[in-house]
């Protein structure tokens, strides 16, 4: 059973949460005084009954509940029960406040900071005994700073942001002929090669030219790859950078415009 402990000054928000939990677990499995205590019932008796039966105790933490003697008795009794009987005691922060000192080391659900939907989803997971882990979005480890110095000169710095890339193999893509531009890495390279990749200009499919270089060393967060692109006369038409993963696979590198001092 879920027990909902709160102060009545917070009932508008708590009622929203209770009704969402009701859809998942049913009213009979949730002790919420609004529907669990009827006229003629003993308030203390019903609350004691609810606390005795709970498997998950949600303490809605706010300045109102912190200042309530009744709510304090509820959560202190529930906390003792959770320690002795290994049941779930879960604070749910619904306002800008700090938990009592005894609860400082308790991991709470932050409805105030995370929002209603995320908080209710976490509460459902806790009540079901599931993990509340939510996968973070993947972010790209490699990004490039591109400094377009002039029509005929481009500086590029490729950086590893979090971890090393042991195979530092990158293709620099232009809408120029091969003989119109040079790719000059600052480091020694295993090799350089040429190739083509599909592109478009004004909606018309074209073949873009790329020159690929692979470093002897890994690309690390402390040691970027610096490349200078020069033109042999024609205006450079930069189209992008690709990280080469295999002979047939690659992925675009995230690009930011910026100034490079070297």
Asked if pLDDT for residue 51 goes beyond 70, the answer is no
Confidence band (pLDDT; 50, 70, 90) for 7? very high
CATH 3.40.50.10140 describes domain 2-128: yes
CB atoms within 10 A of CB 44: 10
What is the rounded CA–CA span in Å between residue 99 and residue 101? 6
Residue 65, classed as helix, strand or coil, is: helix
What is the CATH class of 142-248?
A: mainly beta
Antiparallel, parallel or unpaired: β 250-252 and 204-215? unpaired
Q: Give 39's Cβ-side CA count (13 Å radius).
A: 0
CA–CA separation, 155 vs 225, rounded Å?
A: 11
Distance CA 249, CA 242 (A): 10
Between residues 202 and 207, the one the model is more confident about: 207
Distance (Å, whole) CA 52 – CA 3: 10
Determine which of 7-21, 79-93, 159-173 has the lowest per-residue pLDDT on average. 79-93
Distance CA 208, CA 199 (A): 6
Question: Would you say residue 79 has pLDDT above 80?
Answer: yes
Residue pair 94/111 in contact by the 8 Å Cβ criterion = yes
Q: Is residue 156 scored above 90 in pLDDT?
A: yes
Q: Which residue has the higher pLDDT, 123 or 40?
A: 123
Q: What is the signed CA dihedral for 129, 135, 136, 142, rounded to 10 degrees?
A: 150
**Topology agreement, domain 2-128 and domain 142-248:** no
| DSSP annotation of 67 | T
82-130 confidence digits (pLDDT tens): 877 778 899 999 999 988 888 877 789 999 999 999 999 999 999 998 8
pTM listed for this prediction:
0.63
Give the separation between CA 132 and CA 138, rounded to whole angstroms: 18
Q: What residue segments make up the domains of the chain, in order of their start?
A: 2-128, 142-248
- Give the span between the Cα atoms of 21 and 123, in whole angstroms: 8
Contact (Cβ atoms closer than 8 angstroms) between residue 218 and residue 159: no
Q: Which residues of 186-200 are buried (b: 16+ CB within 10 A; e: fewer)?
A: eeebeeeeebeeebe
Find, among 57, 6, 70, 74, the residue nearest to 34 by Cα.
Answer: 6
Could you tell me where the DSSP H helices lie in the chain?
11-25, 33-36, 43-53, 63-66, 69-85, 111-114, 116-128
């Amino acid at each position: 059973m879920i027990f909902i402990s709160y102060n009545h000054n917070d009932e508008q928000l708590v009622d929203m949460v209770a009704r969402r939990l009701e859809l998942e677990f049913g009213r009979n499995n949730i002790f919420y005084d609004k529907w669990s205590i009827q006229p003629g019932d003993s308030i203390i008796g019903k609350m004691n009954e609810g606390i005795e039966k709970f498997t998950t105790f949600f303490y809605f933490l706010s300045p109102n509940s912190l200042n309530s003697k009744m709510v304090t008795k509820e959560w202190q009794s529930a906390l003792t029960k959770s320690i002795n009987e290994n049941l779930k005691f879960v604070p749910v922060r619904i306002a800008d406040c700090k938990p009592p000192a005894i609860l400082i080391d308790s991991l709470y659900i932050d409805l105030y900071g995370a929002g209603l939907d995320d908080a209710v989803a976490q509460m459902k997971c806790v009540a079901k005994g599931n993990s509340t882990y939510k996968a973070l979005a993947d972010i790209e480890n490699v990004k490039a700073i591109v400094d377009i110095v002039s029509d005929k000169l481009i500086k590029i710095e490729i950086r590893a942001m979090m971890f090393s890339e042991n195979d530092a193999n990158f293709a620099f893509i232009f809408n120029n002929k091969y003989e119109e531009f040079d790719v000059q890495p600052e480091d020694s390279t295993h090799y350089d090669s040429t190739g083509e990749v599909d592109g478009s200009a004004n909606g018309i499919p074209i073949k873009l030219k790329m020159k690929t270089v692979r470093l002897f060393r890994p690309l690390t967060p402390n040691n970027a790859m610096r490349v200078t692109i020069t033109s042999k006369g024609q205006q450079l038409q930069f189209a992008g950078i690709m990280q080469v993963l295999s002979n047939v696979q690659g992925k675009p590198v995230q690009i930011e415009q910026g100034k490079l001092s070297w």
